[in-house]
Amino acid sequence: MKWACLLLCYPNHNLTFQNLKLPNHVHHCIQLPISSTQFIILSKIHPTFPLPSFSLSSFSLNFSSSSNRHHLHFPLFSIKIIMAAAAAVTAAVSLPSSKSSSLPTRTSVVFPERISFTKRFLYTKNVCVGGEVVSIKAQVTTEAPAKVVKESKKNEEGVVVNKFKPKNPYTGMCLLNTKITGDDAPGETWHMVFSTEGEVPYREGQSIGVIPDGIDKNGKPHKLRLYSIASSALGDFGDSKTVSLCVKRLVYTNEQGEIVKGVCSNFLCDLKPGSEVKITGPVGKEMLMPVDPNATIIMLGTGTGIAPFRSFLWKIFFEKHEDYKFNGLAWLFLGVPTSSSLLYKEEFEKMKEKAPENFRLDFAVSREQTNEKGEKMYIQTRMAQYAEELWELLKKDNTFVYMCGLKGMEKGIDDIMVSLAERDGIVWADYKKQLKKAEQWNVEVY
């Protein structure tokens, strides 16, 4: 007769044994993976030994032989399984022999608290033990795992999402619409303020949708376009009753030589004060500010990607809040093609004058500036000048990077980080995944 002892470990957890002592009758110790659940099988005990036992410091097994059935009893006080709030585990092991077909052994581990259970699948595996095939079957019943609520590092408490949807948008009014790029800039960018009367409760880092007037070529209403909010939650007027956007007018020539105008961007840039605008949202939690007032916030923006960072910086440097006073470092990198394309330059310079110890400001003007090698000054080129300092900041758990703008910027920034990480023997792609998981690397590109 052969018998097997089956112990169950939960996925992603460990069963810890210390000072394992096996009797001489145990000939084999096999570890067998089955699907995502792991089983440890101790097999082939001499059949004439009726009551073998062994201990694992704080764990013991006692089993008796009666025909082909075996019962394993695990004393409550001696069990140490690393998992959260488990209530019970039940497994069935089938041990066929060449002479008889036995009923499955049932092995139970019972914990003090009884909690509701969820049935799992029946696992089957044939194993070669001592030259014989043993069929292992296990139907696992376990407590549904308790949901672990991850505490966010961002200011998510009370955040409202999708209060207004496309079928029932909020109708606001344009209060202000001003071009904020110079006449010689490659393209127009406008700053606009809409009234919300406090009905669109957004947070810094969120976006709103805009549904332009008119119908598309199929005779249907235009689809909404999302825009990052460029104002703090208090709004440009400080009364929590407005929302601001930073929008570049999209105009380009297609392959046929035809001039194409972006539907929503041109609708917005052409708005006159007093005009109505249909608003949806707010949406998004990816770009929310960190809760920690002592955090280092590194902001990487190109063009209108400056919008969420203006909202951050207004809250940090232009407003007073009873529950928030920034004592960390805010570092803004802004990349644009020409000096006349620099957005909100005067505002940011005032912030720097007001809090020189807490705010650093670096512009990258690609068509006018070069580095020491004569290369065009893109945002990643400017960052490379501070590579060592940035890398040291990225190693800290209170540094948060936010990236917003055109998709192309992400690759350029990754290229810098790859070489920096390699110096410390770190694979940047893996490290960036860790940063994202920790909410310290946040990207919104378009």
Least confident of 71-80, 311-320, 329-338: 71-80
Let me know if 404 is a catalytic residue.
Answer: yes
- Asked if the bond preceding 282 is cis, omega within 30° of 0, the reply is yes
HSE-up of residue 105 (Cα within 13 Å, Cβ side) = 25
What local confidence, expressed as pLDDT, does residue 92 receive? 34
User: In terms of C-beta density within 10 A (0-12 exposed, 13-18 middle, 19 or more buried), how is residue 231 classed?
Assistant: buried
Q: What is the pLDDT of residues 109-140, one digit of tens each?
A: 333 333 333 434 444 445 444 555 444 444 44
Give the C-alpha separation, 395 to 405, whole Å. 24
More confident residue, 91 or 177: 177
- Is 252 considered catalytic here? no
Whether residue 241 is annotated as binding a ligand: the answer is: no
Strand partners, 73: 62
β-pair partners for 229: 245
Structure tokens at 127: 């194993």
Residue 28 scores a pLDDT above 50: no
Is there a binding annotation on residue 93? no
280 or 419, higher pLDDT: 280
When pLDDT is cut at 50, 70 and 90, the band that residue 27 belongs to is very low
The verdict on whether 439 is a catalytic residue reads no
Residue-level pLDDT at 132: 52
Structure confidence by residue, pLDDT tens digits, 426-440: 999 999 999 999 999
* Host H or E run for residue 106: strand 105-110
Cis ω before 11 (30° cut-off from 0): no
Is the pLDDT assigned to residue 199 strictly greater than 60?
A: yes
Q: Is 366 known to sit in a ligand binding site? A: yes
Q: Which of 207, 228, 232, 311 is catalytic?
A: 228
- The answer to whether residue 344 is catalytic is no
Nearest CA-CA partner of 312 in 278, 329, 328, 288: 288
Question: CA angle, 94 as apex, 92 and 95 as ends, to 5°?
Answer: 140
Query: Domain limits of the chain?
Result: 4-143, 170-283, 296-445
Tell whether residue 337 is among the known ligand binding residues. yes
pLDDT at 150: 59
**130, exposed or middle or buried, with CB in 10 Å at 0-12, 13-18, 19+?**
exposed
Q: Return the pLDDT at 10.
A: 36
Catalytic residue (one of 143, 188, 204, 444): 444
> Which CATH homologous superfamily contains domain 170-283?
Translation factors (2.40.30.10)
Q: Residues 5, 244, 404, 431: which is the catalytic one?
A: 404
Q: Does the annotation flag 228 for ligand binding?
A: yes
Q: Pick from 135, 280, 321, 84: which is nearest to 196 by CA?
A: 280
Using 50, 70 and 90 to split pLDDT, how confident is the model at 409?
A: confident
Q: Does residue 246 have an active-site annotation?
A: no
Q: Half-sphere exposure (CA, 13 Å, Cβ side) for 77?
A: 0
Q: Is 203 flagged in the annotation as binding?
A: no
Mean pLDDT of 300-324: 96
98 is in an annotated binding site: no
Residue type, position 274, single letter:
G
The mean of the pLDDT values for the chain is 76
d(CA 425, CA 210): 46
At 152, the pLDDT band (50, 70, 90 cuts) reads confident
Higher pLDDT, 414 or 142: 414
The arrangement of strands across the sheet holding 88-93 comes to 105-110, 88-93, 132-143, 117-129
Residue 64 counted as an annotated binding residue: no
Contacts of residue 374, defined as CB under 8 A and 6 or more positions apart, other chains included, come to: none
Q: Does residue 375 carry a pLDDT above 80?
A: yes
| Catalytically annotated residue among 227, 378, 402, 431 | 227
pLDDT of residue 214: 92
Query: Is 405 flagged in the annotation as binding?
Result: yes
Q: Which CATH number fits domain 296-445: 3.40.50.80, 3.40.190.80, 2.30.42.10, 3.90.79.10?
A: 3.40.50.80
Q: Is 167 annotated as a binding residue?
A: no
- The CA-based angle 365-371-377, given to 5 degrees, is 25
Look at residue 131 in the predicted model and tell me its pLDDT.
52
The answer to whether the annotation marks 120 as part of a ligand binding site is no
